[in-house]
Structure 1
Amino acid sequence: MPPSGPAQPPPLQGAARRGRRPAPISPQAGPSHRAWLEPVRSVLFASGLTLDDLVDRSGYSKTRISELLRGNGYYPPWEITFSVSHALDVPTSPLRRLWTAAAREARKDNDWIRNCIDQVAHDGDSPPLPYRAFTEAMRPDYSDYARAFLLTDQRAHWVVCEAFDILWLRWSEVAASANLNHYAWQLFRARVMLRAARHADGRPDLRAAVFSTHEVRGSDNAPGHFMALTELIELFDALTRLPDAQMDLTVLHYLCGTPAAGIAHILGMAPALTHAVDHHARATLETLLNAPIPE
């Protein structure tokens, strides 16, 4: 259902040639703030509208809208965020969830958030059916992958929901892409890596995932347990030295138990390429694990 309020006029002819684009996003904007701000800016740039057009459509000043689009200054109340998103025909339900998470990131209390939302009447949106089908199909495997890096069901569930809300905001762009599955996977993967523990060199740190494996949980008192644990930690650490595609495939197949036949679909790869990536990943892991330790 579209947002309540007056119908919006069509994009103005030649609007892309008037005015200037907003300045880059401020470094002050945190990851949750960028989660909704980047898609909103992307919709604005694709629409051909300018800041002057948003002023006319939203009723807010150019200064306020410019600050909002840069993520600069105070975290924006929901009323102005909704007004700008309404002018751009951005889905309200996912945006409101992302806005709420970013408000908490900005240390806004629950009363402030609730009061902001209560100022705007909205009945919610229904997601496109293809989007619903896609996210329902991908949710289990995405959740398993997120859990491997984020360790808990709660954190994995949160980042999957965040990625799917961003995907909904970008759905027109995603659906028009040449490889929807690959596009969605890269978007989701970026959200996981943003919140994964990291080594000093920037690699994700997968070592803690060892303690959630079946082999470790079921062998606390088995002979040689410490040696097996050490070897698993070395293996999991080596996984993160693989190129991205090789690491993703290995984590999905060997840590999450995703059937090989389904991995190509999840990653948006050709099946033949998936087999080649698996072969190279195993060869690279063997080289890494057998490399001499520097003295």
Structure 2
Amino acid sequence: MPEQPDGDPPHRRGRPPEPICESAGLAHRTWLEPVRSRLVASGLTLDELVSRSGYSKARLSELLRGKGYYPGWGITYSVVRALEIPIGPVLRLWKAAAVEADKDTTWIKNRIRDVRTEEVAEQPIAHAGLTQAMWGPYTAYAQVFLQSEARARQAVTETFDILWLTWDQATASPDTPRHAWQLLRSTVLSRTPKRPGGYPDLRAAAFCTTAQAETADLVERLARIDIHARFFDAIARLPADQMDVTVLRYLCGIAPDAMPGIVGLSPAITHTLDHHARGALHELFPDIDTQE
């Protein structure tokens, strides 16, 4: 094999795997896409992955395409370990996708129990710090859209797991907090019911406002719910960044000086977004106090 000028052998890149099958579910893709990206970046050929994992080329090809039955943890772990990918986040994403694929708890536990799993990478300190700092506001934001606290926690956990698996990309981006926020938003909105126009459906949040909860008269409460449902529908129609700062400040109760660090934008830009959003909403609903 000819050598490069620096004396190192040329880096032989493997052929990218064929596209993921359309039948692969959303949760399945969350761990499969980073695995495929790592394989391409590693330069390993499928034959080399066969040698490292101990599984046949046909089985590995099916796994990498998300084809056929949902893969067991054994073959998934063998590929993840061969590519030196962090085990913990992949295992959590694999379990979530198994539930999506209608695998019951017994099947999931048995597949995991059959494998002696060992972690191959430590969580980056910066990733751990970001997780600790942003867990609260991320979860509050997610719950506005998903309503259920359990669903919100699942979306945030998935966000940080994907972020860990793609940490090199996150730290190579111009602004890591901004990269993380956009990933959180994408994860949450992918699970949020949509209105006919394609924007998120926030109307259910109208049942959770302080003002209507404290109203004893049923007729007045229903009227308030109707108004707030239309108000929250208007919030969902705002441009993405304006919607984000509005949800964080007025529906999650986040302090204005904390928002720039959460959404990954400068204080000046965040203030401008808040100003324009409040102006647009006030024109439509002059009698609604955004602090409700």
Fold match (TM-score > 0.5) = yes
Q: Does 1:51 align with 2:52?
A: no
Determine if the alignment matches structure 1 residue 94 to structure 2 residue 123: no
Matching residue's letter, 1:34? R
Between the aligned partners of 1:225 and 1:287, the Cα distance in structure 2 is 23
Q: By how many angstroms is 1:219 displaced?
A: 1.5
> Unaligned 5+ residue runs, structure 1?
1-11, 291-295
Give 1:27-46 correspondences, 5 Å limit.
Answer: 27-46=22-41
Partner of 1:228: 224
CA distance in 1, matches of 2:19, 2:164: 23
Q: How many residues align?
A: 278
Among 118, 130, 142, which residue is 1:146 paired with?
142
**Partner of residue 4, structure 2:** none
Q: 2:274 aligns with which of 278, 282, 294?
A: 278
Aligned to 2:203: 207
Instruction: Specify whether residues 68 and 286 from structure 1 end up closer, same or farther in structure 2 by C-alpha distance, changes over 3 A only.
Output: same
Instruction: Give the conservation status (yes or no) of the 8 Å contact 1:234–1:289.
Output: no
Amino acid at match of 1:153: E
Q: Residue 5 of structure 1 corresponds to which residue in structure 2?
A: none
Query: Please, which moves more after superposition, 111-120 or 257-266?
Result: 111-120
1:4 maps to which residue?
Answer: none
**2:171 aligned to which of 171, 175, 187:** 175
- 2:181 matched residue in structure 1: 185
Q: TM-score by structure 2 length? A: 0.89
Residue 85 (structure 1) aligns with: 80
CA offsets, 1:21-66, max 9 Å, x none?
A: 1111111111110111111112222222232321222122222111
Distance change in 2, residues 1:270/1:37 (3 Å): same
- Cα deviation for residue 287 of structure 1 reads 4.6
The letter of the residue matching 2:184 is: F
TM-score scaled to structure 1, two decimals? 0.88
Deviation at 1:13, TM superposition (A): 4.0
| RMSD between aligned residues | 2.0
Amino acid corresponding to residue 166 of structure 2 in structure 1:
R
In the alignment, the residues of structure 2 paired with residue 132 and residue 214 of structure 1 have an alpha-carbon distance, to the nearest angstrom, of 34
From 67, 76, 85, give the equivalent of 2:71. 76
- Pair 1:62-2:52 in alignment: no
Asked whether the 8 Å contact 1:57–1:87 carries over to 2, the reply is: yes
Higher relative contact order (CA 8 A, sep 6+): 1
Distance in 1, matches of 2:95 and 2:229, equals 37
User: 1:288: Cα distance to partner?
Assistant: 4.9
In structure 1, the residue matched to 2:123 is: 127
2:289 is matched with which residue?
Answer: none
Distance 2:85 2:53 in 1: 13
Partner of residue 104, structure 1: 99
- Does the 8 Å contact 2:199/2:237 carry over to 1? yes
| Percent of aligned pairs sharing the same letter | 48
What SS class does the counterpart of residue 67 from structure 1 fall into? helix
TM-fit CA distance, 1:272: 0.9
3-state SS of the aligned residue for 1:195? Answer: coil
The one of 182, 192, 197 equivalent to 1:196 is 192
Q: Distance in 1 between matches of 2:201 and 2:209?
A: 16
